[in-house]
Chains A and B, each alone.
Chain A
Amino acid sequence: MEPHVEVKGLRVTAGGKDDSAITIVEGVDFTIPRGGVLALIGESGSGKTTIALTLMGYARSGCRIAGGSIRLGDTDIRALDEEGLAALRGDRVAYIAQSAAASFNPSKRIMDQVVEPALIHGRMDRKSAEAKAISLFRALALPQPDSIGSRYPHQLSGGQLQRLMAAMALITGPELVILDEPTTALDVTTQIEVLRAFKHAVASQGATAIYVSHDLAVVAQMADQILVLNKGRIREAGAATQILQSPADDYTRTLMAAARPAPKPAPVAAPTKAPLLEIKGLFAGYGKVDSGGRPEIPVLRDISLSIAKGATLGVIGESGSGKSTLARVVAGLIRPASGSVNFAGARLPGGLEQRSRDQFRRIQLVFQNADTALNPAHSVADILGRPLRFYHGLKGAAQQKRVAELLDLIRLPANLADRACSGLSGGQKQRINLARALAAKPDLILCDEVTSALDTVVGAAILDLLADLRRELGLAYMFISHDIGTVRAICDDIMVLYGGMAVEMGPRSAYQAPPFHPYTDLLVGSVPELRAGWLEEQATRPPPPAIGPALEGADLCRFLPRCSARIDGLCTHFTPPRRHLPGGSDILCHHPEVVN
């Protein structure tokens, strides 16, 4: 059968048209049969998005398609002029971008944007386009399909916008759909729903698809064929099952190993039992605090935890669950409304002003994004030198020596000290970010999503480094993440946050198998497995059982609206008790027989 998409000898360059141009993609060949799904996988800089975009004849600013042939059906895409390309884009080839929140025009209604491709390409009139859009909204399982189009992007959630973007792509009935990391920005519980909706919608249209991702497990659910890319070149190509089961290339094996980090063994010397950080009954949030110690907009509710010296607590939850707020309270950036925070046996003052320099030194915060956390105008030595001078009064040669030691500690060469950090790679920057915290010689490091912005291979190396440092220096971590795989790999204890409440808390062994809290169950069950067919096996969850109206003013379970194990009359009226499970964890739930 004639392939639907055929790319041969593709070459993309950046920079000028002359010899100074840098080749960013070279020698890429592939074909896709009609209705097939090809996945392009690789780390950032592998050229996967660049290759996908060439099928629309599009190269990002500063880049240029320099060679090769790109055919879609009978059309030679490289032979098209700007007008021909504009006629192709959004009509025969559609694109679903990574961040729907940024890719929708903020000042236009959703419906206007969704029907736009159909209107500008003259596919249908406004009325039938809107009717088609509404049927797509319904097929993509969007809430209120008849009226959601009249909303503006800021009124919708990330998962909804991502599905609306799929509707926008599918409205013209394109023959090729390009999905560019469409679920990377979503919470894992949302991702599974969106993946299912995408797969169904693309298949029911009979469209050919290119799926760009760095996540092998997601790709395993979506693709028939996989192309593994590294630095703009193909490392391995083949059927999805073959690549997932018996990868032939070393690089593919590295990617697969990094996708599911192995648990790091706890330090040999068991951590001492005396708690380093102890939080009891913490409430925190924004706005005025009432007489009962509840803030106007509560973010954290009744949080209690303790971290022993040298131990690691994982804090996991979806966006908005309050996990970053928790780190900010411990760091002193947000004052608790009520409850106590004790550090090394002494009460920790709420605000930064009342804390001593020694308290600052002993608790260090590492931010998610090293790109924005490090001053791009400063050299590595400046960045590390400042905490050394501030906390330890080190100057001159002593400071230089300590900077070299720190770089050695984070496995970077000492000659990096004079480099500006803007010239470093993402992984190197995150190491510097970590070294800045280490410079203070802290007892506790608060790691806020420190691997989330990194590629899987680089992120896995950072996790290894964190585990080594903990063993060498006896550090304690509060490790915040949205990824249960990462948390399970590095943490001794894990706390699951939902809506600002700790719904489950226990040792990591308790998270290997059920029973769980219903939310933990949803979270664990939503992480895709590294094999094809997993998505199909996950039966669509039944809608939560019907319940009567909740009791006004009662302090109810925060997970109630989404819980599939809720019990009418019990969950709707009473505050859930904290109960101990045989696996070793404590959960906040009414359910007598915890699900699964």
Chain B
Amino acid sequence: MSAASPATGQSGTTFLLTLIVRRLASGLLTLFLVALVVFIVSGLLPGDAAQEMLGQSATPEAVAALRQQMGLDQPASIRFVRWLAGLLGGDPGFSMVANMPVADIIASRLPNSLILAGLSTLVAVPMALTIGIASALRQGGRLDRALNTATLSMVAVPEFLIATIAVLIFAVELRWLPSIALVPASGTFLDLLRALAMPVLSLSVIVVAQMARMTRAAIIAQLGLPYVEMARLKGVAPARLVLVHVLPNAIAPIVNAMALSLSYLLGGAVIVETIFNYPGLASLMVNAVTSRDMPLLQACAMIFCGAYLLLVLVADIVAILANPRLRNR
């Protein structure tokens, strides 16, 4: 089979590039607006870092002096511009609370979060696809109903309950896994897997359910179409039918559902991080709120927003690549 003629291939690539550039531009605009909102909202929080550091009994003079030292007495607009300029230059500011650059704090936490999210994705995506496809093929059958009940109860049970029960079973009763997900610096890869097994399990349970249900719906929507009947009447076997014929047409809604679910793995992991005492980004952000560490809070918010936009962009590109109508314009 020859590829599409050069002309259509060329225009397809150009179209894709234009789309990516356009989406990146609108993504940057979104990030700017988010930055503005985060800045305004964090300014609305009662108290500030100076007050928080000195405590309730501090004299107003002392608080004012510290504010001046921290630059908090400047007008909001100037602080915003200064912060934004720093952000663009790769410096998200200095955390007065921790007395170290925000970049350093994040650098110590971000890899942890990425490892946790990455492992959870590796577990959750194949599982969700398998469950979704299996239940779509047996629509209305016993397997479908069983999987439906299972995924629904997974969505319904709060993650802290799942995490706590997992700790009770695997750490307290069976003593197979550590209850705290702390990886020693000298630990092997196996240690890492052991330490992260339960956090990954708890996170996966949440996202698998959503993704599997969307996969099932997307595939069922395709199964009723005439081209599927045609493929059956050509003698195509069920496995080939789903993988070769149906999946490419169902991929767009599936990857979009996945992008939404996976974005949760970074920012939504706060409960799991807290229960397993895992040093990730989400718990860092919650700490930043309680200690009024605005530069850190803002940096975390920007990371989560950026990751979300990136995931949605990837989902759109995958959807376009899967659809010859869009690909070969």
Contact = CB atoms under 8 A, between A and B. Distances in A.
A102 B235 contact: no
A109 B244 CA distance: 12
Nearest to A56: B233
A152 B248 contact: no
B233 A106 contact: no
B232 A58 contact: yes
Contact of A121 (B235, B248, B322, B328): B235
Nearest to B227: A105
A95 B226 CA distance: 12
> Main SS of chain B's interface residues?
helix
Given A120-B237, A149-B1, 16 more contacts: A53-B233, A58-B233, A86-B235, A86-B237, A87-B235, A89-B233, A90-B233, A90-B234, A95-B233, A95-B234, A103-B227, A103-B230, A109-B1, A116-B236, A152-B325, A155-B328
Interface string B300-329: 000000000000000000000011110010
20 contacts: A58-B233, A86-B237, A91-B235, A95-B233, A99-B226, A103-B229, A104-B230, A105-B231, A106-B227, A106-B249, A106-B325, A109-B1, A111-B1, A112-B1, A120-B235, A147-B2, A150-B1, A152-B325, A152-B328, A168-B234
Q: What 9 A-B pairs have minimum CB-CB distances, sorted nearest first? A: A90-B234, A90-B235, A89-B235, A102-B226, A103-B230, A152-B324, A107-B248, A95-B233, A86-B235
A120 B225 contact: no
B233 A150 contact: no
Interface in A82-138: 85-91, 94-95, 97, 99, 102-109, 111-112, 116-117, 120-121, 130
Interface string B1-15: 111110000000000
Contact of A97 (B4, B230, B240, B325): B230
Contact of B4 (A86, A105, A120, A150): A150
Interface of A: 53, 56, 58, 60, 85-91, 94-95, 97, 99, 102-109, 111-112, 116-117, 120-121, 130, 147, 149-150, 152, 154-155, 168
Contacts of A88: 235
Contacts of A168: 234
Contacts of A53: 233
Contacts of B2: 147, 150
Interface residues of B, number: 27
Interface in B1-39: 1-5
Contacts of B232: 58, 89
Nearest to A60: B229
Contacts of B5: 147, 150
Contacts of B227: 102-106
B109 interface: no
Nearest to A104: B227
B245 interface: yes
A152 B4 CA distance: 9
A348 B229 CA distance: 49
Contact of A107 (B1, B4, B240, B324): B324
Contacts of A102: 225-227
B176 to A, nearest CB: 43
Contacts of A103: 226-227, 229-230
Nearest to A116: B234
Nearest to A117: B234
Contact of B234 (A89, A108, A109, A130): A89
A121 B237 CA distance: 11
Given A117-B235, A121-B235, A108 B226 contact: no
Contacts of B324: 106-107, 109, 152, 154
Nearest to B252: A107
A86 to B, nearest CB: 5
Contact of B249 (A105, A130, A147): A105
Nearest to B251: A107
A86 B233 CA distance: 8
B305 to A, nearest CB: 32
A74 to B, nearest CB: 19
A95 B244 CA distance: 20
Given A86-B237, A107-B324, A95 B230 contact: yes
Contacts of A86: 235-237
A114 to B, nearest CB: 10
Contacts of B240: 120
A109 B328 CA distance: 12
Given A108-B245, A152-B325, A152-B328, A97 B235 contact: no
Interface in B103-118: none
B152 to A, nearest CB: 25
Nearest to A91: B235
Contacts of B234: 89-90, 94-95, 116-117, 120, 168
Contacts of B244: 108
A84 to B, nearest CB: 10
A197 to B, nearest CB: 19
Nearest to B233: A95
A107 B225 contact: no
Interface in B22-80: none
Nearest to B325: A154
Contacts of A130: 1
Contacts of B235: 85-91, 117, 120-121
A58 B228 CA distance: 13
Nearest to B245: A105
A99 B226 CA distance: 8
A150 B8 CA distance: 12
A85 B323 CA distance: 32
A89 B322 CA distance: 28
A103 B234 CA distance: 11
Count chain B CB atoms within 10 A of each CB in A103, A130, A168 and give the residue with the most. A103
Contacts of B230: 95, 97, 103-104
Contacts of A106: 227, 249, 323-325
Interface string B211-240: 000000000000001110111111111001
A387 B73 CA distance: 68
A153 B227 CA distance: 11
A64 to B, nearest CB: 15
Nearest to A87: B235
